[in-house]
Amino acid sequence: MAELKTERFNVNNLDCASCAAKIETGLKAVDGVDDAVLDFASLTLHVKATDIARIVEEVRKIEPEVELVPKSGKTPVLESGETSGRFRFKMELAILTVAGALFVLQLFIENRFHGTSFSILELVIVGTAYLLAGWNVLLGAFRTIRKGTLFDENVLMVIATCGALAIHAYSEAVGVMIFYKVGELLQNLAVSRSRRSIQALLAAKPDNALIKTPDGYQEVTPESVDVGDEILIKPGEKVPLDGRIITGSSQLDSSALTGEFVPVNAKPGGIVLAGQINKTGALTVRVSRPFSESSISKVMDLVENATARKAKTEKFITTFARYYTPAVVLIAAGIAVIPPVATGASFHTWVYRALVILVISCPCALVVSIPLGYFGGIGNASRRGILVKGSNFIDALAAVKTVVFDKTGTLTRGVFSVRKVVNLNGFSEHQLLEYAAAAELQSNHPIATSIMNACRKDGRGVNPSMVFDHTEISGQGVEARYGDHSVMVGNDRLLHLESIDHPKCESDGTVAHIVVDGNYAGYITIGDEIKPDAKKALEMLRQQGVEHISMLTGDNSRAANEIAKSLQVDSFYADLLPEDKVRIFEQLNRERGGEGKIAFIGDGINDAPVIARADVGVAMGALGSDAAVETADVVLMNDSPLKMAEAVSIAKQTRRIVWQNIFLAFAVKGIFILFGAMGMATMWEAVFADMGTALVAVANSTRIIGKNAVMT
């Protein structure tokens, strides 16, 4: 079986949401195509197929004018499509201006010289104006019919306007076509505005890097820089790659990554992330990760791919539009034929009413505004440092009723400090710190870092060459040999497992017990701090409708209880191994009884299994492990739990706007279909109602793009 490959394309010359749906549906029916998603809002085609090269040819068969351009590392999403789109907009505007002038002239002739020799001239003017305004609609309808699809919005407009011409409603036929095209252009402007709004985030991609060479600094692309290379970042420049500062101090603007405009102080030993902007001083940085794994690269990838995962509402509307249009044509045909045949009424009257129904029934308001609403929600969240990996997770976030937090690094700062050293059985405090630091030397856990820092402050050093046989005991501690001594550092569970007698420690912090050569040497109490915005975050989540908040931690119950009381969580579970977290989370999931969705927020590699099981898995992106970030559905770039409340708020606002658009479209169309059938609406009113609804829905969708996530 041939291997499936994934590719993304920029889509040029596409200004029709229904055409986007046709391309998507057509590609899914092609042999060898596993999946295809065309997002009209971002003009991006995501394809998974065995033969990628064939995709361009298949799309050309479906829509000959559409051009696919494979995405490259240097081409920001949307850019090429927007350039061609601006040219097409100017051209169509010029053509419509001429058509509009002819339309005004036709109205003048109709009113002043109706029934005179000017009637032939009037027909010429009508025909010219009609063809100028509707040439691409006529062409689109011809292609649709030629492919055997028969029904789309182009076919609806052609049937309606040609019917109007046939019953000599010339001004209405031309006017409907002109105003339909004006409405489409205004829609395209609104959609383009929303697309451009997200480009500010993607424009954060650095274009070059100054790499240190034997001949001085040389300008290269970030993709060509290797791990370990030294780069120079001048004031005002974007940080091109992730790394650690060797020399220099400055302030960094991280707003492109986190959505926060508070400057970050940078000094030797500190970490810089690709996408930050160096504000004040030059920095020399040693690169720690290749560009493909850098912070900004992951952000861009997440944002560009987010719209590939469509919400159920989007999928429903696409399917609905496919059946809705032919149904409307059948209803209109019935209205045009049945009443005259059954009652002897005028065919002219009922044909006109049927044409009114065709005009009002175009599904543009739904097909365009709903994907645009989700796109706007994802874009707004991205600008605020919240990366949502798909429209489907917007819906899930909006329905969250239960939130489960990891403790360390999520609700607390994860910056531990040694508070107390208790030495026993003949060991001194200095020895206790030295042995503990030796055992933790090769560990990257925050507790290990705090013990190492305390050892250095104490003036004691650890010789790395004397440390070997280091073993991490998951959820319990570490074991290593230090010179001739066997050293264990761990929690109460580890000591019980090894049957080592030890005193009961009453502490509000984390307790690390130290055992040397099988003898209990004492314990170290280590404290963590609650994040300053954690309590507010939980309050905001409750305001957003979250009914239950829980906390899971591997820390001891006294330390967990202190945090839980301070934050007023509904429940907490302590002394948990990684597998225990999964078990407790599934228990909480069962207890909620299927009410709403359940979310989990964590940052460590041991949180990844729970993140994967949640309806909405959320990772702390700035300090979180790669495993957690990769597994998560939502990434909070600045590690603030308050961002979770913002994410829920944005999701609820987005969902509210989407449903407003659905209700508006169905309500207006239902009313005017009824009016049209009863003879209470003309084609003029129908086209204004149709395009007015579409424009209001699109404008409503764009509200979320610039909307602040106000907690309501």
pLDDT, residue 137, reads 83
Q: Which residue would you say has higher pLDDT here, 36 or 89?
A: 36
**Selection from 368, 371, 343 nearest residue 694 by Cα:** 368
* Burial of 322: CB neighbours in 10 Å, binned 0-12, 13-18, 19+: middle
pLDDT, residue 646, reads 92
pLDDT, residue 276, reads 83
Banded pLDDT at 77 (limits 50, 70, 90): very low
Region of 256 on the Ramachandran plot (φ > 0 left; ψ -120 to 50 alpha; else beta): alpha
* Identity at 613, one-letter amino acid code: R
pLDDT, residue 126, reads 87
Give the mean model confidence (pLDDT) for residues 177-202: 65
pLDDT, residue 645, reads 93
pLDDT, residue 190, reads 61
User: What is the C-alpha to C-alpha distance for residues 168 and 353, in angstroms, rounded to an integer?
Assistant: 14
Lowest model confidence (mean pLDDT) among 183-192, 324-333, 691-700, 703-712 = 703-712
Give the mean model confidence (pLDDT) for residues 459-485: 81
The answer to whether 620 and 637 have CB atoms below 8 angstroms apart is no
Lowest model confidence (mean pLDDT) among 80-94, 493-507, 577-591 = 80-94
* Residue 445 pLDDT greater than 50, yes or no: yes
pLDDT, residue 538, reads 94
pLDDT, residue 246, reads 93
Banded pLDDT at 711 (limits 50, 70, 90): very low
pTM over cut 0.85: no
User: Cα 536 vs. chain centroid, distance in angstroms?
Assistant: 24
* Residue 304 pLDDT greater than 50, yes or no: yes
* Residue 709 pLDDT greater than 50, yes or no: no
Q: Terminal CA-to-CA distance of the chain, rounded, Å? A: 52
- The DSSP bridge partners found for residue 251 are 265
**Selection from 367, 378, 410, 361 nearest residue 628 by Cα:** 410
* Residue 231 pLDDT greater than 80, yes or no: yes
pLDDT, residue 454, reads 83
User: Cα 28 vs. chain centroid, distance in angstroms?
Assistant: 23
The answer to whether 349 and 356 have CB atoms below 8 angstroms apart is no
* Residue 430 pLDDT greater than 70, yes or no: yes
Number of Cβ atoms within 10 Å of the Cβ of 444? 9
Q: Which residues, including other chains, have CB under 8 Å from residue 120's CB and lie 6 or more apart?
A: none
**In this structure, is the dihedral angle defined by the CA atoms of residues 375, 377, 382 and 383, taken in order, positive or negative?**
positive
pLDDT, residue 61, reads 81
CA distances from 122 to 110, 126, 683 (A): 7, 6, 20
Phi, psi (degrees; rounded to nearest 5) at 118: -75, -5
User: What is the C-alpha to C-alpha distance for residues 165 and 172, in angstroms, rounded to an integer?
Assistant: 8
- Summarised one tens digit per residue, pLDDT across range 128-152 is 998 998 888 888 788 777 776 666 6
Domains identified in the chain and CATH numbers: 5-76 (3.30.70.100), 226-289 (2.70.150.10), 391-411+531-632 (3.40.50.1000), 417-527 (3.40.1110.10)
The answer to whether 435 and 512 have CB atoms below 8 angstroms apart is no
CA distances from 386 to 119, 646, 656 (A): 63, 8, 19
The highest-confidence range among 117-121, 207-211, 290-294, by mean pLDDT, is 207-211
Banded pLDDT at 598 (limits 50, 70, 90): very high
- Summarised one tens digit per residue, pLDDT across range 636-652 is 887 789 999 999 999 99
Instruction: Indicate which residues carry an active-site annotation.
Output: 406
Mean of the per-residue pLDDT values of the chain? 80
Lowest model confidence (mean pLDDT) among 21-25, 82-86, 128-132, 310-314 = 82-86
pLDDT, residue 400, reads 94
Banded pLDDT at 405 (limits 50, 70, 90): very high
Q: Which residues, including other chains, have CB under 8 Å from residue 615's CB and lie 6 or more apart?
A: 396, 400, 597, 598, 599
Region of 639 on the Ramachandran plot (φ > 0 left; ψ -120 to 50 alpha; else beta): left
Phi, psi (degrees; rounded to nearest 5) at 549: -120, 125
pLDDT, residue 301, reads 66
Angle of helix 312-343 versus helix 391-398 axis, rounded to 10 = 90
Banded pLDDT at 548 (limits 50, 70, 90): very high
pLDDT, residue 549, reads 94
pLDDT, residue 150, reads 64
| Percent of the chain clearing pLDDT 90 (strictly above) | 11
pLDDT, residue 698, reads 77
Which tokens belong to 663?
Answer: 């209700």
CA distances from 71 to 44, 301, 589 (A): 9, 11, 40
Banded pLDDT at 556 (limits 50, 70, 90): confident
| Percent of the chain clearing pLDDT 70 (strictly above) | 83
Banded pLDDT at 258 (limits 50, 70, 90): low
